[in-house]
Structure 1
Amino acid sequence: MNRTNFAPVAFTLAAAVALAACGKKEEVPAPVVAPAPVVETAPPPAPVVETASFVALSVGNQLDANQKATATADTFAPTDTIYATVATDGNAPNAAIVARWTFSDGQLVDESSQSIVQSGPANTAFHIAKPDGWPVGTYKVEITLDGNPVASEEFMVQ
């Protein structure tokens, strides 16, 4: 074989190897992306309901220092001042208590209301008085709290 014929073949072979080497790129692995951590959140707290709730009604002819009716009774003298104490509990920025006093035939004797700011247990007192004396008969006091009837009590004047 002739050397002159060998040179073009060697050059072609070298060029093919060089081109093949240039075209080959080293593969870079794709970056590993960690999944985002799952953050568990608690549900929002339930809204605080601010209400006053009825506990008890007592009727008597005296009040103590806590505005609670003492000497509770269901029978009174015509000249007694008659007290009704509404015991409530809860938390409310504004609550309305109404006391409606009626005579046995449904005749309205008195109706009064008080707005209260409730923060824990409390007593709210109402009263009726008639210096010349109540007519003998059956009476009733009805209590509403924020417009809802919560209690009533009948009593006698003798």
Structure 2
Amino acid sequence: MKLSFRTSALCTATVAGLLVLTACGKKEEQQNAAPAAVSTAPAAAPAPSATAPAAATTAASVPAAAAQPAATPAAVDTIKVGSVTLGSAVGADKKVSKEKTTFSPNDKTIYASVATEGTTAGATLNAKWTYQDGDTTTTVSDISQSISTDGPAVTTFKIQNPNEWPEGKYKLTVSLNGEAAGNESFEVKKK
């Protein structure tokens, strides 16, 4: 059997194309494996240093262009609550402008500014406001907001009462993606 030059070139091109496609699939598998390892690591401070050498090892075995996407999911998981501030007014920047922890019964609205640091493609902040009457705790409001940010951000929550607030002790508990992230106690009393 005699092969022509054209048939030989076509076979060679086909094999080369299959090798390239196969190699692309392997790089994709490596990229997909690296983010899974990063995203399952705990968010505690020691975890990033423990995962950093693994990422460096992966980068050494994969071309630099292919290693870059593996770093992106780690940045997505860096969101954390920096501070929670209560007050009676909020500015255009969504930050509490009149910070306080003691409110009057006739204050109609109580605000909370939740400052976050880091980045996320999608996270959920939850604010649970409770009233503590002796041994009984009553939920006043429980609301969630979805956030997406690539840097520091502020999310505002509020509770309103057209009537007077009952005097007593209150608490705001903030959670991020279902994990406790901060709380602030405050009081309502006549001045």
Q: Is 1:59 the equivalent of 2:86?
A: yes
1:42 aligned to 2:60?
yes
Which residue does the alignment assign to 2:171?
140
> RMSD value over aligned CA atoms?
1.4
Match of residue 17 from structure 1? none
Is residue 114 of structure 2 the alignment partner of residue 86 of structure 1?
yes
Q: Which residue of 2 aligns with 1:127?
A: 158
* Aligned AA (2:181): V
Query: How far apart are the structure 2 equivalents of 1:43 and 1:139?
Result: 55
In terms of fraction of residues, the more helix-rich structure is: 2
Aligned-pair distance for 1:90? 1.5
- Deviation for aligned residue 1:78: 1.2
Displacement of 1:79 in angstroms is 2.2
Post-superposition shift, 1:108? 0.5
The alpha carbon displacement at 1:140 in A equals 0.2
Distance in 2, Cα, partners of 1:64 & 1:144? 23
Is 1:68 matched with 2:98? no
Residue number in structure 2 paired with 1:155: 186
- Greater share of residues in strand: 1
1:102 is matched with 130
For the 8 Å contact 1:56–1:88, the answer to whether it is kept is yes
Cα distance in 1, alignment partners of residues 153 and 99 from structure 2:
18
- How many residues get paired? 118
Partner amino acid, structure 2, of 1:96: T
Q: CA deviation at 1:156?
A: 0.4
C-alpha contact (below 8 Å) 1:79/1:129 kept by paired residues: no
Rg larger for: 1
Partners of 1:102 and 1:53 lie apart in 2 by: 23
Letter in structure 2 aligned against 1:42: A
Matches of 2:174 and 2:156 in 1, distance apart?
11
Cα drift, residue 47 of structure 1:
3.1
Q: Deviations over 1:55-106 (max 9, x none)?
A: 1110001001110112111100112211011100212111100000000131
User: CA–CA distance in 2 between the matches of 1:78 and 1:128?
Assistant: 13
Q: Secondary structure at the match of 1:70?
A: coil
Q: Give the 5 Å matches for 1:13-32.
A: none
Structure 1 Cα separation of the partners of residues 180 and 85 of structure 2:
15
Is this contact kept in 2: 1:83–1:126, CA < 8 A?
Answer: yes
TM-score (norm 1): 0.71
Aligned equivalents of 2:151 and 2:162: distance in 1? 36
Give the counterpart letter for 2:128 in structure 1.
R
